[in-house]
Amino acid sequence: MSQKFNMCRRAHFIRRVRERVSPKTDGAELWSILIEQMAAPDPRYLRFVARLTRGGRRLWRFWLGGRWHFLVFDHANNHPITILVPGRQIKPEGKHSFFLRDDYHD
């Protein structure tokens, strides 16, 4: 993957963090932290939800600012893709669609 393409992905992620998490959250720092955390996810802060594609995209929940947020992570290229909000409907490849909910109980 080219460096320019990766910079565009990172800029997109940072923009979504500002829009969907908080304008005060440092999206660049969160990008780096999430990549590090994927090596050994701590279930108190990062939890697998579903496989989205055969190509490596996975849906995760992560804890930040007192609530859970949803993350699409590209494991094939080892970087976050975007932040999703509760209420959004997703359709994993080859599966039935479902709505993201913020009322999960663990």
Tens of pLDDT, residue by residue over 8-31, are 889 999 999 999 999 999 999 999
Distance CA 100, CA 85 (A): 7
pLDDT-based confidence at residue 5 (cuts at 50, 70, 90)? low
1: its two tokens: 């993957």
In a domain, 91, yes or no: yes
Q: Which residue has the higher pLDDT, 73 or 2?
A: 73
In a domain, 106, yes or no: no
Instruction: With residue 16 as reference, give the H or E element that holds it.
Output: helix 3-20
48 backbone dihedrals φ, ψ, rounded to 5°: -70, 140
In a domain, 54, yes or no: yes
In a domain, 49, yes or no: yes
**Would the pLDDT of 105 be above 80?**
no
| Cross-strand pairs, 64 | 67
| Residue 2 confidence (pLDDT) | 62
Domain residue limits at 31: 3-99
In a domain, 31, yes or no: yes
Can you state the angle between helices 27-38 and 3-20, rounded to 10 degrees? 110
Is the distance from CB of 18 to CB of 32 less than 8 angstroms? no
In a domain, 65, yes or no: yes
Tens of pLDDT, residue by residue over 37-81, are 999 999 999 999 999 999 999 999 999 988 899 999 999 999 999
In a domain, 105, yes or no: no
Number of independent structural domains in the chain? 1
Tens of pLDDT, residue by residue over 85-95, are 888 999 999 99
In a domain, 85, yes or no: yes
40: its two tokens: 């050994």
